[in-house]
Structure 1
Amino acid sequence: MKEWLTIAELAERTAIPEPSVRRYLKIFSDFFTYKGGSRGKRFEETAAKVLIRIKQLYDEGYQKEGIIGFLRKEFPMIISDDNVTDSENKDATPTLATVEDMEEIKQALAEQREFNKQQQEFNKVLIQKLSEQESYIKESLQKRDQQLIESMRQGLKEQQAVSEMIAASVQEKKASTKRSFWQRLFGKGD
């Protein structure tokens, strides 16, 4: 069964001052498994090994980034579940990533990159097809509009011709009516 230690117990086991233990736990939190809330937080017993290694690396003159590099090679990292809400996470224990997990993550990232690349290619083709379709629609609408305008012009010309014929007919009728009237009035024949 796993043993869970408080910060004071970790400081006692590692012979590292408690303020330094707190600082290490905060700075390198991805390498520590814990349970409980902020006041009652307890760390897995393996935290002592990590703390001792951190102190050793600081003593050798390494800075935070260098220490993180060593820790990544030597110890598993915590994988956090972002889908867990804070109320669900009170008693949850973070999961440590093993070397196999990291390989799976690398593989998944490679697959995701390949998928993204394929998706980008698909998007390019789709955008090109949509542009072609948009051009076709614009051309079709222009042709239809031109045909409609031409049809309306033709209809207007026909209406105008009919109107002119009616006007001429009315004019003729008036002219013939006038002659008949004059003829009747004066009784003259053509």
Structure 2
Amino acid sequence: MKKIIAIIFMLSTIINYAQEKEVNTKPNRKYRKHQKGFYGKLNKEAYQTVMDSIEFYSGVKLSRKKKLYVNFRQKGENCVIYGMKKESSKIVFSNIERISKRITKKYDTQNLLLFDRSSFFKDFLLKSKRWKLAPDFFEKNIFTKNKICEAFIVIRPNGEFYKYYGEDHFSIVETLLKSDKWEKGKIVKDVK
């Protein structure tokens, strides 16, 4: 019996290792194929429901008069930071925290840093005071694509939102936060 348990454990470890090794860690064509941005507008009732849900599931009180920026980390087939050494990835996360804090403060925006339990960086992020473990609500309802390990959404009080899948996105976030007008109804498929 002990041999069977040992064999099962060994096989599951090998399978998990093989699956994680298949992660694309280069910002190449395969990666860019999955970088996507989506624009939309919620009516007042839908906006209220979404904000209430985000507030409930994140455990953070949110103002309905300010924009909201949510940075979300998940497991994805494409993840540049996953290919970095541990110390380098720690620096990247520190930069994410610092930059998101700076630009959300500058543009009077609420800031949530979330990760799901499948994230490659779960163990590291659990130790951080700035990142929150997100319940399944976020991956099932907001960040439904998991081809890239990072995504964000900006939601404005008028119900407009912009969701983006891709890493190193702060120039896009800053453009969205400082702009009073977004391109209505336009879905941006490839933001560089």
* TM-score (ref. length: structure 2): 0.20
* TM-score (ref. length: structure 1): 0.20
Which is bigger in relative contact order (C-alpha 8 A, separation at least 6)? Answer: 2
The structure where strand makes up a greater share of residues is 2
The structure where helix makes up a greater share of residues is 1
Structure with higher Rg: it is: 1
